[in-house]
Amino acid sequence: TWTPTAFVDTTVAVLQEQLGNDKVVLGLSGGVDSTVAAILLNKAIGNNLYCIFVNNGLLRKNEFESVLHQYKDMGLNVKGVDASERFLEALKNESDPERKRKAIGKAFIEVFDDEAHQVKDVDWLAQGTIYPDVIESVSVNGPSVTIKSHHNVGGLPDFMKLKIVEPLRMLFKDEVRRVGKEMGIDPELLGRHPFPGPGLAIRILGDITAEKVRILQEVDAIFINGLKKWNLYDKVWQAGAILLPVNSVGVMGDERTYEKVVALRAVESTDGMTADWVNLPYEFLQEVSNHIINRVKGVNRVVYDISSKPPATIEWE
Ligand code: XMP
């Protein structure tokens, strides 16, 4: 029978045999898969694993700093690269969802390639690919899974010519979590909701500005912290806020306001392929809505999304 302990022991031995003294680069995302892959490789080859954590400026509030700190505490050899400005520039005046994704993918590849070049004599690219990704991506562009086909632009960047090592490619998500727990990774990190690679860019409908990102980060933080405070976070598969491209009329004192609307979304799911909206308590929604409207300047209306997938997708774009 499969046990996380046996998996860790065997995999570390196999990786040591396979990698010897070679150098490996790995992109950390803050998510479960890349983190578990990194810790496993770190156990096997120590500082010959060079982790790169890119801030695309589209992460949750304070996420880059706090996760980077956590990675360092775990003993990873990690470099944090703040490329927020570069991504914002790449997204300028872009409203189309797929073009946003492409722009982000392209910027990521460029930043990652630059960083990978700074590691002298690197031989391997490690990825946190898990079994469902393997199935999903056969025939797309070979073994490179975290970087999907639509992110691939022109010729292959150099880091994609590296040999690939994917220590989690035979595991399902729950097994990845068990392996992470076995290696002492913070349960909070292991229990995190999924978060899309393009981040808040696909939750800001329409074009993206630094101010809109800031507003959405504030709203999202109030919602997510509220879920944690009310012990609802672990009952939800994924949650987040969407900044809508409409203004609505409101009133503050004797002034009329004309400000942004945000939608809150929380779903139950097992794999994201289908999803049901979560019946969150009215008292919770009331508290969160009040906090958002009172504390986030520029927002005067909050709505809750009660659509299930299909036909509505989880993200709004
Ligand atoms: P949808 O909106 O298609 O989302 O119901 C299903 C799951 O996929 C995530 N998602 C993405 N993840 N890049 C990602 O890495 C993307 O472009 C992307 N689009 C959606 C979404 O957050 C949900 O978990």
The pLDDT tens digits of the residues spanning 135-146 come to 876 533 333 334
- pLDDT at res. 152: 43
Nearest-angstrom CA–CA distance, 32 and 168: 11
pLDDT at 146: 45
Q: Is 180 annotated as a binding residue?
A: no
Which range (11-20, 133-142, 159-168, 251-260) has the least confidence?
133-142
Residue 128's pLDDT is 96
Mean pLDDT rounded to a whole number for the chain: 93
Q: How far is the CA of 156 from the centre of ligand 1 (A)?
A: 24
Closest among 113, 190, 192 to 151, alpha carbons compared: 113
Q: Please report the pLDDT score of residue 134 as a whole number.
A: 86
Residue 195 Cα: closest atom of ligand 1: 22
* pLDDT of 149 above 80: no
Which 3 state secondary structure label does DSSP give 129? coil
Q: Which two tokens stand for residue 11?
A: 């995999």
pLDDT tens sequence across 215-250: 999 999 999 999 999 999 999 999 999 999 999 999
* Buried-exposed string 41-74: b where 16+ CB fall within 10 A, e elsewhere: bbbbbeebbbbbbbbbbbbbbebbeebbebbeeb
Tell me if 95 is assigned to a ligand binding site: no
Closest by CA position to 103, among listed 113, 93, 115, 118? 93
Residue nearest to atom 9 of ligand 1 (CA): 196
pLDDT of residue 314: 97
- Chain segment 34-55, per-residue pLDDT in tens: 999 999 999 999 999 999 999 9
Report the nearest atom of ligand 1 relative to the CA of 313: 5
Each residue of 274-299: pLDDT tens digit? 999 999 999 999 999 999 999 999 99
Query: What mean pLDDT do residues 201-216 have?
Result: 98
pTM of the model: 0.92
Do residues 293 and 300 touch, judged by C-beta distance below 8 A? Answer: yes
pLDDT band at 154 (very low <50, low <70, confident <90, very high): low
Q: What pLDDT was estimated at residue 252? A: 87
Nearest CA to ligand 1 atom 22: 196
Does position 112 have pLDDT exceeding 60, yes or no?
yes
pLDDT the model gives residue 189: 95
* Mutation to probe ligand 1, out of 91, 137, 140, 315 (largest number of atoms < 8 A from CB): 315
Residue with more model confidence, 151 or 144: 151
How much is the average pLDDT of 70-92? 98
Q: Has 32 been labeled as part of a binding site? A: yes
Q: Give 314 Cα–ligand 1 centroid separation in angstroms.
A: 7
Q: Which residues contact 148 (CB under 8 A, 6 or more apart)?
A: 105, 137, 140, 141
Average pLDDT on 1-18 reads 97
Instruction: Report the alpha-carbon distance of residue 298 to residue 82 in Å, rounded.
Output: 26
Complex ipTM: 0.99
Q: Which residue ranges form the domains of the chain, and what is each CATH number?
A: 4-190 (3.40.50.620), 209-304 (3.30.300.10)
Question: When comparing pLDDT for 48 and 159, which is higher?
Answer: 48
Cα–Cα distance measured from residue 47 to residue 41, given in angstroms and rounded to the nearest whole number: 9
Residue 136, pLDDT score:
72
Give nearest CA residue, ligand 1 atom 21.
196
Q: How far is the CA of 238 from the centre of ligand 1 (A)?
A: 10
* Closest C-alpha among 145, 126, 149, 125 to residue 135: 145
